[in-house]
Structure 1
């Protein structure tokens, strides 16, 4: 009998890709990664797992179909999935071609366009910040004037806060508009992003002020609601997060109800969804709906808090197995994100093993190697590591995290100036 395989379309840098590989192996599956660039250093961390990677244009559905058809000559393909938003709609199409469980590609594609998402949510009466869409600098300026400063500018496609910035005056609006229109915020263009480059659209949004929350969903079930905080403006780079968030029963129910409204409005409800909110004076308003799991270390925190392995359950869903979303315990899990404070070359970094030895710490991890050039982008790429911990109380978890972070240090030598 052919061994059962799980096909992962792209593995994802520093995120949950390795966790998907390990979860697949625990389920007795052989993980096989299809990637446009398997030789990239972002896949170095799969080496220890001896994961098979195959080069294929992951933007080309026909090429993916051909590759999977060839794999079926050797393996029984149990499921196809991904943790990357950029290819998730394509994964849905691939699953339908092979009659495998998967996300609705039409709903996923609409959700990944932030303006289309906003329009669908607004039509369903879901609470959101005021917004406009603009295609040039003049329209961005007039939209910001209509909404009122400050505003948040973001591209209509993309994730990880790439290209997202708080703009407080006309100069910042003009500067960031030019940056977005140049396309410099795009890392590896997906088909949707290439389409955006040909006809760029910018979302201009009211700055919703208030605490940040997110809901982790699987199907139509709210698994947990967390809270976090960002580093200094104008960017939105996570510094810390806690799950479950300290909410009253009524507040928790309110967010869960709005989350379900989002799923209905967008035609989602299969598989994982991560929904971000700000709690304003009007209550929770939706900042973004992501038709995927939240990025690392979110899934690890959910598992520490509740004993629910969202990655394993996502894979089980993709291969047609029955889910088990029962909560096995209740702890307070937290994370501290290690973020570089200036650009330069990473000379040394240490303390991860000492931090990992602190009682209550589940993981202390660096993402970058020595001598790596650090060039901050104002998004998820600015994080160079994280520490995760859990305990029975919020105060204790925060104390554990602080004790661990205090043991970690690094040195970044600034790049030489022009004069130097």
Structure 2
């Protein structure tokens, strides 16, 4: 093949730049013929080899990243920039604008989603009901805000997602401490919000050319305050049709209000007595094994949906492999030393579903675990089961838990043996 022919072939192929996110690179190489650029820090050899255009960058220096990408773009122009990493979504918006791309998230839309205070402002301007909230810059302002809104309140970072850093505060002392923790962690402000009571629902949607397509609605069960660790839920949701229609319309209004287009979003709603209220908009696909559950029960592969949206296109689903799925986080009421049957992690015999479950425990037998609401506690594992009916899935889940035989042995100062925080998200 001549050099001119090679150049023509490269010009014809769709070319996508991925910011972080190894799964996206692997999925694109396995499922598409796209040419894949991959920008990341300290890139492992296998990913450098997998990507067509590896670019090692420092994500703490956005100007340098833009310069590096622009030099590559001048020779092998990208059609879209994608990422599923929360902190890099605004950078994707900046790159869209600096590279002169016509599709993908804009920097303004990214800010409107990632900054929860900006989200509230945009929604209120569009006439969408939002939680009462105040931005505070000190523990003292936090106390004043909590008194104005009315205790209990929720205190959270403005830029966090999926309950990260979120605290339920029933007293002014708790508010003061929660705000102090956020500011001491390097942020200049925090958000104090009213505490909503109701069922949590997640919505995954894709919006292109101003048209929103709701792809999936799922139930989200959360643990007790103050941390509200995500315990899992049913995929898809068991809401009735009128509730689904209401969420569909509100999702369309919400994404239009924040200016999100040619991108995907995971929206969290609380179903209050007065109707659904938007809690946050995460401009990315579901985290953890939520991706696998959406793919199994709808046929939509969320990672590919996100790439196609950034290219300005909706995609059609494959045939689903299951009717319903269940996600359960492994959490504990008390700290201690965990014992379980390790062989049960891989034992899939005797289950009703033909699809193998996912069973993960993040610590080895004999290692320490922390209580669900410990500052470094949360989810220490997960079980994902899919099948033909809710009853079938429930029975398979019970079989798996019986085989695991999780037991927590009392242990003083268990926190001394747990080196890293465990995610509050499933």
TM, length-normalised to structure 1: 0.81
What are the equivalent positions in structure 2 for 1:286-301 lying under 5 Å apart?
Answer: 286-301=278-293
Shift of 1:110: 2.2
User: Residue 272 of structure 2 corresponds to which residue in structure 1?
Assistant: 280
**How many residues in Structure 1 have an aligned counterpart in Structure 2?**
392
Shift of 1:323: 2.9
- Over the residues paired in the alignment, what is the CA RMSD in angstroms? 3.4
Residues 416 and 223 (structure 1), Cα distance of their counterparts in 2 relative to 1, 3 Å cut: closer
Counterpart Cα distance in 2 of 1:323 and 1:214 = 20
Q: Is the 8 A contact 1:36 1:57 kept in 2?
A: yes
What are the equivalent positions in structure 2 for 1:46-125 lying under 5 Å apart?
Answer: 51=50, 54-69=55-70, 71=72, 77=78, 79-100=80-101, 101-125=103-127
User: Residue 19 of structure 2 corresponds to which residue in structure 1?
Assistant: 9
Shift of 1:76: 6.4
Q: More displaced, 226-235 or 365-374?
A: 365-374
Shift of 1:353: 0.9
Residues 144 and 269 (structure 1), Cα distance of their counterparts in 2 relative to 1, 3 Å cut: same
- Residues 1:394 and 2:417 are matched in the alignment: no
Match for 2:358 among 343, 346, 364?
364
Match for 1:206 among 179, 194, 208?
194
Residues 340 and 247 (structure 1), Cα distance of their counterparts in 2 relative to 1, 3 Å cut: same
Residues 417 and 237 (structure 1), Cα distance of their counterparts in 2 relative to 1, 3 Å cut: closer
Q: Is the 8 A contact 2:82 2:92 kept in 1?
A: yes
Counterpart Cα distance in 1 of 2:307 and 2:59 = 20
Shift of 1:251: 0.7
Q: More displaced, 338-347 or 50-59?
A: 338-347
Q: Is the 8 A contact 1:161 1:379 kept in 2?
A: no
SS in 2 for 1:382: coil
User: Residue 40 of structure 2 corresponds to which residue in structure 1?
Assistant: 35
Q: More displaced, 210-219 or 388-397?
A: 388-397
User: Residue 325 of structure 1 corresponds to which residue in structure 2?
Assistant: 316
Counterpart Cα distance in 2 of 1:10 and 1:345 = 35
Q: Is the 8 A contact 1:275 1:290 kept in 2?
A: yes
User: Residue 423 of structure 2 corresponds to which residue in structure 1?
Assistant: none
Q: More displaced, 352-361 or 46-55?
A: 46-55
Deviations 1:4-23 (A, max 9, x none): 66432122xxxxx4255224
Counterpart Cα distance in 1 of 2:145 and 2:193 = 9
Counterpart Cα distance in 1 of 2:315 and 2:68 = 32
Q: Is the 8 A contact 2:157 2:190 kept in 1?
A: yes
SS in 2 for 1:366: strand
Can you give the 5+ residue segments of structure 1 that lack an aligned partner in the other structure?
12-16, 40-45, 184-193
SS in 1 for 2:287: coil
Residues 417 and 91 (structure 1), Cα distance of their counterparts in 2 relative to 1, 3 Å cut: closer
Counterpart Cα distance in 1 of 2:39 and 2:369 = 28
SS in 1 for 2:346: helix
Q: Is the 8 A contact 1:56 1:64 kept in 2?
A: yes
What are the equivalent positions in structure 2 for 1:14-413 lying under 5 Å apart?
Answer: 17-18=22-23, 20-29=25-34, 31-38=36-43, 51=50, 54-69=55-70, 71=72, 77=78, 79-100=80-101, 101-183=103-185, 197=187, 200-219=188-207, 220-319=212-311, 322-326=313-317, 328-329=319-320, 331-339=323-331, 350=342, 351-355=344-348, 358-360=351-353, 361-366=355-360, 368=362, 370=364, 382-408=378-404, 409=406
Q: Which has the larger radius of gyration?
A: 2
Counterpart Cα distance in 1 of 2:330 and 2:125 = 39
SS in 1 for 2:148: helix
Q: Is the 8 A contact 2:219 2:236 kept in 1?
A: yes
SS in 1 for 2:403: coil
Counterpart Cα distance in 1 of 2:229 and 2:46 = 29
SS in 2 for 1:259: helix
Shift of 1:118: 0.8
SS in 1 for 2:247: helix
SS in 2 for 1:8: strand
Deviations 1:99-155 (A, max 9, x none): 443211111112211111111112222122221221111221111112211111001
Counterpart Cα distance in 1 of 2:201 and 2:375 = 18
TM, length-normalised to structure 2: 0.80
